[in-house]
């Protein structure tokens, strides 16, 4: 194991209404453990799904990075976690590469239309919507303030050339694959692989694990 590899911290960021125990997070944790690689999977919900925001999730990621001091970081993100990884890579110099699976770019446009098509209501002065949470396997309340908060992050230009690999399912009906195509087209440090799968990508999990590890090897972040 190389000295450089010893200093690399790998962080997995789960998606919206998901958890560190999701199928993809579990698969990554298992494969990385088999290789003796450190993989941290923070809980981005922070114990309060109702008041979830992009900013609060980013703070959890920032706190995770701060806790590891000077480590070089490689990020792995799924869906919203992929969007958060892309944002974090722009703001933190220790992030050297990002592997994104069906990243949730253009969050406001996609989720606002979905949320507002659902059952919205007021409670204690707050605007809420009921959405399905896969973590708990039930419908839960979400404060619509998440969209007001997200507005500030839509202005990020993604000008920092962080090596990025995107894998996106061509049958994804949650995040339009055109979002990833557009991102890869205008950011030359990004490569895009389209696979015959859906948003979950579970049909290609073994291939994705190998592809992720190969990507980080090419970036010099691991040697196993």
Residue 111 has pLDDT above 80, yes or no: no
Question: Can you give the pLDDT at residue 117?
Answer: 67
The whole model's pTM is what?
A: 0.93
Q: What pLDDT does residue 165 have?
A: 98
Quote the CA–CA distance of 169 and 161 in Å, as a whole number.
24
**Percentage, residues of the chain above pLDDT 90:** 78
- CATH code, 3-105+156-218: 3.40.50.1820
Please say if the pLDDT value at position 1 is more than 80.
Answer: no
Other Cβ atoms within 10 Å of 177 Cβ, number: 18
**3-class SS shares of the chain: helix, strand, coil, % to 5:** 40, 25, 35
Distance CA 183, CA 165 (A): 11
**pLDDT for position 118:** 65
Whether the predicted pLDDT of 5 surpasses 60: no
Range of lowest pLDDT (19-33, 90-104, 122-136): 122-136
pLDDT at 42 over 90: yes
| Rounded-to-integer distance, Cα 196 and Cα 194, Å | 7
Q: Please classify residue 58 by burial: count the beta carbons closer than 10 Å to its beta carbon, then call 0-12 exposed, 13-18 middle and 19+ buried.
A: middle
The answer to whether residues 192 and 181 touch, using CB atoms and an 8 Å cutoff, is yes
């Amino acid at each position: 194991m190389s000295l450089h590899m010893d200093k690399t911290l790998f962080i997995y960021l789960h998606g919206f209404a998901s958890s560190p125990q999701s199928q993809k997070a579990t698969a990554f944790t298992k494969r990385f453990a088999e290789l003796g690689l450190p993989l941290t999977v923070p809980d981005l919900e922070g114990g309060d799904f109702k008041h979830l925001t992009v900013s609060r999730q980013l703070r959890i990621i920032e706190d995770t990075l701060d806790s590891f001091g000077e480590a070089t970081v490689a990020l792995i993100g799924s869906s919203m976690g992929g969007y958060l990884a892309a944002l974090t890579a722009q703001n933190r110099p220790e992030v050297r590469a990002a592997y994104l699976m069906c990243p949730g770019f253009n969050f406001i446009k996609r989720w606002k239309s979905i949320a507002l098509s659902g059952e919205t209501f007021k409670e204690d002065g707050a605007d809420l919507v009921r959405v399905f949470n896969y973590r708990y396997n039930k419908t839960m309340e979400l404060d619509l303030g998440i969209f007001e908060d997200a507005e500030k992050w839509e202005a990020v230009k993604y000008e920092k050339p962080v090596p990025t690999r995107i894998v996106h399912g061509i049958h994804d009906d949650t995040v339009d694959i055109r979002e990833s195509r557009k991102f890869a087209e205008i950011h030359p440090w990004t490569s895009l692989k389209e696979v015959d799968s859906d948003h979950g990508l579970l049909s290609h999990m073994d291939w994705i694990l190998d592809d992720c590890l190969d990507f980080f090897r090419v970036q010099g972040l691991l040697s196993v």
